[in-house]
Amino acid sequence: MEASSPARLYASLFGLVLTFVGIVGFFYEASFDSGEAVPSDDVIGVFAVNGWHNVVHLVAGLVGLAAAGSLAASRVYALAFGAVYTLISIWGFAIGGGETILGLVIVNTEDNFLHLAIGLVGLAAGAASRGEPREPARRR
C-alpha cells in the first residue's frame, strides 16, 4: 500500500466532508433556478446553498475520494481544488455576500471564508506532499 501524505489526508477528509455536505444540502434547498433571484437556504443557519452549490460539493467530494487512492492523484487534487476554492472565495468576496457566481451558485460571506480555508489548506497539503513515493536507494 502506498504511504500517506498531507494531500492524501486532504483528499480523503475533504472528499468525505464535501460529499456529505452536498447530500445534506439537498435537504435544505434543492432548487436549480438561475439568474438574479436564486432561491437558497442556510445550512445550519450559516452557509448558503442551492441545488447547484450542492452539486459542486458532491462533485468536489467524489473527485477527492477517487483521488485519495493515489499519492500523485491526491496531490493534483489538493493543488487543483485548493487553487479553485481559493479563486472562488476571492470571486465571492468581490461580488459580496448573498450573490451568485455565474448566476448559479449562491455564496455568502461565511461561504467565502470557508472556501478560502479549504483552498489554502489544499494548497498547503499539495505543496507539502510528494507526488510519487521515493524509491529506496540501491546498495552496491
Phi, psi of 31 (to 5 degrees): -70, 140
Residue 113 has pLDDT above 80, yes or no: yes
Q: Which residues of 45-78 are buried (b: 16+ CB within 10 A; e: fewer)?
A: eebbbbbbbbbbbbebbebbbebbebbbbbbbbb
If you count them, how many residues does the chain have? 140
Closest CA to 60 of 28, 34, 82: 82
pLDDT band for position 98 (cuts 50, 70, 90)? confident
Rounded CA separation 37/28 (Å): 17
- Mean pLDDT score, 50-63: 93
State pLDDT tens for residues 17-43: 999 999 998 988 888 877 666 666 667
What's the Cα-to-Cα distance from 63 to each of 60, 97, 108, rounded to whole Å? Answer: 5, 27, 24
Band (138; pLDDT cuts 50, 70, 90)? low
User: Are the C-beta atoms of residues 61 and 32 closer than 8 Å to each other?
Assistant: no
Q: Using CA atoms, how far apart are residues 123 and 34, in angstroms rounded to an integer?
A: 31
